[in-house]
Structure 1
Amino acid sequence: MRKLWRRGLGMAALCSCAPVLAEPAHYIVFALDSQDRAQAVFYAQVELADGAARAATLDGGSGNSGTDRFLWQGLRKGEAAGGGEIRVPRQLRVEHGNAGETALQHLSAEDPHRAFVLRLPLAQADTLELVGDRQLQRFDLGQLAATASTLPLASVQPARLLQAQRSGSSTAAANSGNRLDVLLIGDGYTAAEQTTFATHANALHTAMFNVSPYKEYASFVNWQPGFVASSQSGADHPPYQAGCTSTSCCADPAAQTDPRAGTFVSTALDSTFCTAQIHRTLFANSSKVFAAAVGFPDWDKILVTVNDPVYGGAGGSFAVLSAHALAPSIVIHEFGHSFTGLADEYTTPYPGFPACSDLGVNPGCEANVTNQTNASLVKWRSWFTPGIQIPTPAGTAGLGLFAGARYLSAGMYRPTENQCLMNALGANFCAVCRQEYVRKLYRGGFGVPAGGIDLIEPGSEYPPAAAPVHYAQGTQRSFGAALLRPSVGNIGLQWYLDGNPVATTESYTFQQLTPTPATRTLELRVTDQTALVQPAMAGDLLTHSRTWTIQVGNDRLFDDGFQ
């Protein structure tokens, strides 16, 4: 079996580089069969705005109890040309509870449509190898392109992009290479219901970005609605039937209260209630969702809103919600799993869930749960309310170490008693969860940029910082870059000349009247001054910088003309 070489796929977070032009790429949707073999079901050639390969790592975030793992390798004329790992969740995330209920229960639900996407620049590979569970599969990408019209999902219509909701200037906000790109697709909307979809999309955007910390960092997100027309409105509602094991009925007694029980409709993405025989589990056909997402190929995360008034939804490779007024809380909670990587903090048992430990025994626990009880070693100790007892007795106000989390009532701890959205719907995110969202934005690992979002827009530096800047003695030269600011909060700016602080302005004008020193170093340092991240837990994530090397000459012709 050919060894798969693993390489970094994205642009470094602090690179000083020219803007990357859109690049043609393969967009391939693979569905997994009953033998866990990947079958190509959709192919299109697309333009990636940032030119970077995107092999979807669709593990559904924290709380998924099993994944199918693949290694992929691109080959160009027989030579290795990049590769990586893909993880596809076997199960959906189902937070069981009826509309208006805050208590949650995690239920096991198999995803009936496991699928994944590979987006690979044409120049990077002409052949693809996939290895999963000791199986090697090889795909000729040229042949896939030639037979694209014969693939099973060739007729799936791409999501038609509506006006995006973005913050900041249009130029900066369009920078997919330095943003979290969220694509919201609609299902169960007929061609005549595009306005209804737009209304639902706006409502979800408002609900989500009114919540901290999504609110503070809305400017870091490109929110792109994508319309897909269905033949009929709504979703399927299989009727109740005790002992049912097929998709035509629902064994969950809760289906007896479904006002639309027995309704079956034809929709573009096959959204249906009672997925995996749990009535409130509303989900779509993953392969079709990924095929429709080709309309915005630079997506990092996908959400699906379904034009159906009954409360329901679920999480997995993407999150799904209905048009019920309370359903946005499902997506807000699920995004805490799928993007931020948070764990559930409630204690309702979920037998067989993989263990974690911060004591070095098993894989480490998620950022908001721990089994560590030594106060000096608890990872969120910087957030402890002064003087609070550790572990923290029930009924104590403040942020500490409360027993019960991750489906266990003992042996696992959470930061607050019951004041967190990862514990109960209707609450807010606690300080530890808010912090982790911010750190994830800057740390990366969610797509492109691979190394995290940069406060200094890559490629915007003037003059370019990648090469030495030739400067004519006695002239003035302006240095700067476009900056990305949080929607709420401030950034700090500091310029250093040869290591000495010289200015706190957005741009800096350099002037030197003498021929020496002949080489100078100029640095711009930008820091997010957010209170959502404790300094002790920030590391170097909140500070980004650019450095220019200035070479001084005594002839004005030495200046290369950038003033």
Structure 2
Amino acid sequence: MKALLPALLAAALLATAASAQPAPITLVENGPRAERINVAVVAEGYREADLDAFQAAAGRLIDALFATAPYDRYAAFFNAYAVPTVSAEAGADRPARSEARDTYLSATFGCGGVHRSLCLGGDGERRLNALLRDALPEYDVALVLVNDAEYGGSGGRVAVVSAHAAAAEIAVHEMGHTLAGLADEYGGGAAAGFASRNTATDAHPAHVPWSAWLDDATPLPTPDDAAHGHVVGAFEGAAYADHGAYRPERHCRMRALGHGFCAVCNEHHIGAIYDRVSPIAAAWPAESDVTAGAGRLAFRVDALVPAGQARYEWTVDGVTVGTSAALALDAGDLPPGASHVEVRVTDATDEVRDSTLVPLLSDVRAWTVTRPAATAAESGAGGADTATRLGLAAPNPVRHAARLPFRLAEGGAVRLSVYDALGREVAVLVDGERPAGLHEATWSAGALAAGVYVVRLEAPGATATQVVTVAR
């Protein structure tokens, strides 16, 4: 029991010190913390009088991050907060020069024997964890900003960057380590390299992790010249080794500042984002169990996916019935009992090719829709409504495109077509075999003149029509 007391006392002191620090400041807030990646920019080596300068510098780092691809397109997936701490002195330790500073997180240059490697020394990381558990327990990524003008930084469990003039560039590079799990791609000596997501020790196409990006016309190893400046290959020099280690592209931010992320590092960032945040921001109805009464059921989903990249697939009992962000169902289109309604939202970006990452780009919302058995008044003596029917067009009037749901009592040859007021066929939406059940077609009416049109469904044993107005 006595042996536990020092540890318990130390933990209590750390918690007390953390709670005594100033409260976090919101820099960017795009949604609930539980549904976003929360970046905590934490002050280190800032005295009380320096906290305004820290907040301004933290804002610049976040602005630079969200101006960099792919963060610029995925900014809505993030929140960012400045977390002030107060240190007795400014700067960081420099053991090689026997210089020590009294700072809150014990930042020090010279980590791993490399002077520019700036990290948290002593119990700094433990103090950081205690601070964030108290001040911002929902944080996902910690980026420590050190009030020291000398060039330095590091990445890993925690990203650390100095207040050097290139701080923003350094911070984005270190986020490549901390968020996306990437390795450094620069050389530096004769030491053996290592394999990682973005480095390889063998240039054979079967042995590089980014084989999905390789073109048969690209030589491996790939010549490090201007002719191959914008291709994915296997360039020698990576993972701190000048020879025997390979990187995906000639230039990349993980090799040198001043460049964007290569295609492979870019896709791992996107994968890391979707590993933490769903592409679905919200879905309606909010309840997962829905009772179908008379009339129309409305379903909708909001996606976080960048503009133009979202793909939607709505299914009812496994049958695809829609491909837009919303779905309307007539209660009569559903059989009595329970039906399973599901929407899958996918980011259809071509920037992700790694087969282990692609599944992360999709998510599903589902509802159980129960339709009570039809009454005699609703369906006559014959029982439940299982007839072939043409559902209501949505929207109607239509300006650009309309969704046309239909239900088939039995499978077979189906033709869904559109006629103008003179009886001329102007569009064929479906012409072929379809199984029994729910379906949906999309009518693109943007090129048609304003007026009244007739939609005609021809199916086994049934014909149905509906008037739709095109408005301009």
Once the two structures are superposed, the pairs formed by residues 111-510 of structure 1 within 5 Å of their partners are 151=13, 154-156=16-18, 157-167=20-30, 173-174=31-32, 176-232=33-89, 234-236=90-92, 238=94, 247=95, 250=97, 265-274=101-110, 278-284=114-120, 285-293=124-132, 294-349=134-189, 351=191, 356=194, 365-375=195-205, 378-385=208-215, 387-395=217-225, 396-397=227-228, 398-417=231-250, 419-442=251-274, 444=275, 452-457=276-281, 460-465=283-288, 468-472=289-293, 474-486=294-306, 490-510=309-329
| Greater mean alpha carbon deviation, residues 404-413 or residues 301-310 | 404-413
**SS of aligned partner of 1:164:** strand
Within 1, Cα distance between the matches of 2:131 and 2:236? 44
Within 1, Cα distance between the matches of 2:156 and 2:364? 36
1:345–1:406 contact (8 Å) kept in structure 2: yes
Within 1, Cα distance between the matches of 2:303 and 2:324? 12
Structure having the larger proportion of residues in helix: 2
Within 2, Cα distance between the matches of 1:227 and 1:211? 25
- The change in CA–CA distance for 1:278 and 1:533 in structure 2 (over 3 A counts) is closer
What's the % identity of the aligned pairs? 30
- The change in CA–CA distance for 1:197 and 1:296 in structure 2 (over 3 A counts) is same
| RMSD, matched Cα | 3.2
Instruction: Give CA deviations for 1:457-481 in whole Å, capped at 9, x if unaligned.
Output: 47x552422xx43222x32222234
State the match for 2:427 in structure 1: none
**SS of aligned partner of 1:480:** strand
Q: Alpha-carbon deviation of 1:406?
A: 1.9
Within 2, Cα distance between the matches of 1:275 and 1:408? 19
Within 1, Cα distance between the matches of 2:10 and 2:233? 56
Unaligned runs of 5+ in 1: 1-36, 42-143, 168-172, 239-246, 252-261, 357-364, 445-451, 557-563
Instruction: Give CA deviations for 1:14-67 in whole Å, capped at 9, x if unaligned.
Output: xxxxxxxxxxxxxxxxxxxxxxx99986xxxxxxxxxxxxxxxxxxxxxxxxxx
2:297–2:331 contact (8 Å) kept in structure 1: no
Q: Alpha-carbon deviation of 1:489?
A: 5.3
Q: Given the two structures, how large is their TM-score scaled by the length of structure 2?
A: 0.68
- The change in CA–CA distance for 1:315 and 1:421 in structure 2 (over 3 A counts) is same
Within 2, Cα distance between the matches of 1:394 and 1:549? 57
- The change in CA–CA distance for 1:514 and 1:495 in structure 2 (over 3 A counts) is closer
Instruction: Give CA deviations for 1:430-472 in whole Å, capped at 9, x if unaligned.
Output: 0011011111222x3xxxxxxx3211247x552422xx43222
**SS of aligned partner of 1:392:** coil
**SS of aligned partner of 1:198:** helix
Within 2, Cα distance between the matches of 1:311 and 1:491? 41
Q: Alpha-carbon deviation of 1:205?
A: 0.7
1:463–1:469 contact (8 Å) kept in structure 2: no
Q: Alpha-carbon deviation of 1:220?
A: 1.4
Within 2, Cα distance between the matches of 1:335 and 1:40? 36
2:341 to 522, 535, 543: 522
Instruction: Give CA deviations for 1:114-154 in whole Å, capped at 9, x if unaligned.
Output: xxxxxxxxxxxxxxxxxxxxxxxxxxxxxx5xx68853663
Within 2, Cα distance between the matches of 1:166 and 1:371? 41
Q: Given the two structures, how large is their TM-score scaled by the length of structure 1?
A: 0.58
Highest relative contact order (Cα 8 Å, sep 6+), 1 or 2?
1
Q: Alpha-carbon deviation of 1:237?
A: 5.5
2:190–2:242 contact (8 Å) kept in structure 1: no
**SS of aligned partner of 1:229:** coil
- The change in CA–CA distance for 1:343 and 1:500 in structure 2 (over 3 A counts) is same
Unaligned runs of 5+ in 2: 376-472
1:280–1:311 contact (8 Å) kept in structure 2: yes
Within 1, Cα distance between the matches of 2:66 and 2:36? 15
Within 1, Cα distance between the matches of 2:4 and 2:159? 22
Instruction: Give CA deviations for 1:294-340 in whole Å, capped at 9, x if unaligned.
Output: 20011122111122323222334312222222122222222212221
- The change in CA–CA distance for 1:209 and 1:519 in structure 2 (over 3 A counts) is same
Within 2, Cα distance between the matches of 1:286 and 1:535? 33
**SS of aligned partner of 2:249:** coil
Within 2, Cα distance between the matches of 1:377 and 1:273? 36
1:308–1:322 contact (8 Å) kept in structure 2: yes
Q: Alpha-carbon deviation of 1:517?
A: 4.7
Within 2, Cα distance between the matches of 1:413 and 1:193? 43
State the match for 2:383 in structure 1: none
- The count of residues paired between Structure 1 and Structure 2 equals 365
Instruction: Give CA deviations for 1:337-365 in whole Å, capped at 9, x if unaligned.
Output: 222111222222375x7x75xxxxxxxx3
Q: Alpha-carbon deviation of 1:265?
A: 4.9
1:235–1:270 contact (8 Å) kept in structure 2: no
Within 2, Cα distance between the matches of 1:414 and 1:191? 44
Within 1, Cα distance between the matches of 2:255 and 2:162? 21
State the match for 2:359 in structure 1: 540
